[in-house]
Copies of this chain bind each other. A is one copy, B any other.
Amino acid sequence: MSPIKLIGFDLDDCLFDSTGLSESARIKGLDAMIDLGLKIDKEKAVRILKEIVKDYGSNSSKHYNYFVRRLNQMEDNIKHISYNDGYKYIAAAVMAYHGEKVNSIKLYSDVDNSLRRLRELSIKIAIITDGIPIKQYEKILRLNIDSLIDLVVISDEIGIKKPNPELFNYCLKKFGVKGQETIYVGDRIDKDIIPANLNNIFSIYLHRGGKYDTYKSDIELQEELKPDYEISNLNELFMIIEEINNKEKINNF
């Protein structure tokens, strides 16, 4: 047996606040429409947009289209939004939304330092993530961590999607390491922890308060579905690595 050689991370809501960024970007979109003349109470607008995100999912590209249509259906609607105004509002909202997404993306404060420490320990670093490959790589470039990552595995390109444990096995094979030499850090039991466990990878549940951060250790789960560790800050990683490495030493003794 040997010590930890590889650590994998989920991207969204693990290395940066994806949930929070989407929420603030959506609000910027509403602000842009109101600035342009849309007559609506801001709080009401936020409430309606939240309903739309719930109805259509957070990844729909048409939130603001539905928003304008929904306003035009409402009984207390003061003034029907014309075709021209509707598109103007939607365009302004989409511009503001993307501007915020592009300009305000930033790493959680514990990430850059932790990745550098891992590199100093000669531990390889991978990102394993679902999502559209170019969009995911755009995030990595904007977060400026490209040079710190040894391998990016984006499921849609490989053709194996989370929670298929083969995706994690693909990554192990790429580095020529075993599960027990590897740690995976994610925020979803179903898509991160279970496939890691199935590959004998040490699984760490990272609490960031994002939209999927629903796991509590008092939830009754079969033992094999539970994360090996829970953390809320990446700096806790290093104690865990030390603990695992020490155990391995004792076992080898």
Contact = CB atoms under 8 A, between A and B. Distances in A.
A138 to B, nearest CB: 4
A137 B64 CA distance: 14
Interface string A87-107: 110111011000000000000
Given A95-B142, A142-B95, A137 B90 contact: yes
- Main secondary structure on A side of the interface with B: helix
Contact of A152 (B87, B90, B94, B146): B87
A38 to B, nearest CB: 14
Nearest to A146: B88
A134 B84 contact: no
B142 A84 contact: no
Contact of A84 (B84, B88, B135, B152): B152
A87 B141 contact: no
Interface residues of A, number: 22
A244 interface: no
A141 B90 CA distance: 11
Interface string A151-172: 1101001000000000000000
A209 B137 CA distance: 37
Contacts of A154: 87
A3 interface: no
A86 to B, nearest CB: 9
B151 A94 contact: no
Interface in A128-155: 133-135, 137-138, 140-142, 146, 151-152, 154
Counting every copy of the chain, the complex holds 2
A253 interface: no
Contacts of A146: 88
Interface in A45-72: none
A90 B151 contact: no
B151 A91 contact: no
A91 B146 CA distance: 12
Interface of A: 83-84, 87-88, 90-92, 94-95, 133-135, 137-138, 140-142, 146, 151-152, 154, 157
19 contacts: A83-B157, A84-B151, A84-B152, A87-B134, A87-B137, A87-B152, A87-B154, A87-B157, A88-B137, A88-B146, A91-B133, A91-B135, A91-B137, A91-B138, A91-B140, A91-B141, A92-B141, A94-B134, A95-B142
Closest 7 CB pairs of A and B: A91-B137, A91-B138, A87-B137, A91-B134, A87-B133, A88-B137, A84-B152
